[in-house]
Amino acid sequence: MKLLYQTHSPYARKALVFAYEVGLADRIEVVHHETSPLRRNEEVFAANPLGKVPVLLRSGLPAIFDSDVICAYLDTLHAGARLIPLEGEGRWQALQMQAVAQGIADAGIAIRWETQRRPKELRYAPLRDGYVTKLLASYDWLEQSLDTSAPLHVGHIALATALSWLEFRELPTFRPRPRLTRWFDEFSSRPSMLATPLWGQTQD
């Protein structure tokens, strides 16, 4: 398999960390691709009509895109415990945490557009502030709701890679929240995280 990747994408990193955690990383060739709404990447568009990474290319089979879908697919290829529980309350907790992680990454990207990437004369501070509010409210929710004793699941991976990216981009921090900070720092020491560092800048 081949993973179309971007070294500074929280979503691509989520898929790759997942692959490490389920023991499939050695079966995947990782190929970096720069993508941006302002910069068309023809190879990525050929596999994903949204023009975004990650994309998983499979021999003789259609490409799979979107980190959630890629993780769900990879979870069917290994013999270990499922990281996306199949049933019960654990399934909904894992998927809900994954959704929150996706949301905070999306909010961070929106903040970057209104503070760095959009031309200054087109930036809209009230929209930026609205997304900052979403980030901070999500941090507060995670501080109260994160089950630090739960077995590893896809939500943990999504959350750790999202928080890592938010720090990488120097966006509003979660660190005043001690439970969330302690959990993140411990998770960041996992081999899967150490093997997939973020680096590089968006090229519009």
- Give the Cα-Cα-Cα angle 174, 177, 181 (nearest 5 degrees): 70
Whole-prediction pTM:
0.97
Q: Are 194 and 185 in contact (CB under 8 A)?
A: no
What average pLDDT score do residues 150-169 get? 98
In the chain, domain spans: 2-74, 88-194
| Arch. (CATH architecture) of 88-194 | Up-down Bundle (1.20)
Confidence at residue 11, expressed as pLDDT on a 0 to 100 scale: 98
Residue 87 has pLDDT above 90, yes or no: yes
Distance, in Å, from the CA atom of 62 to the CA atom of 33, rounded to the nearest integer, reads: 19
Model confidence pLDDT, tens digit, residues 18-69: 999 999 999 999 999 999 999 899 999 999 999 999 999 999 999 999 999 9
Tell me whether strands 29-32 and 61-65 are parallel, antiparallel or unpaired: unpaired
88-194 matches 2-74 in CATH topology? no
Distance, in Å, from the CA atom of 196 to the CA atom of 182, rounded to the nearest integer, reads: 20
Distance, in Å, from the CA atom of 135 to the CA atom of 131, rounded to the nearest integer, reads: 6
The CATH number of domain 2-74, selected from 3.40.30.10, 3.40.50.2300, 3.40.50.2000, 3.50.50.60:
3.40.30.10
Total residue count of the chain as it appears in this document: 204
Residue 178 has pLDDT above 90, yes or no: yes
Give percent above pLDDT 70 in the chain.
100
Residue 78 has pLDDT above 90, yes or no: yes
Give the largest Cα separation in the chain, rounded: 54
Residue 202 has pLDDT above 90, yes or no: no
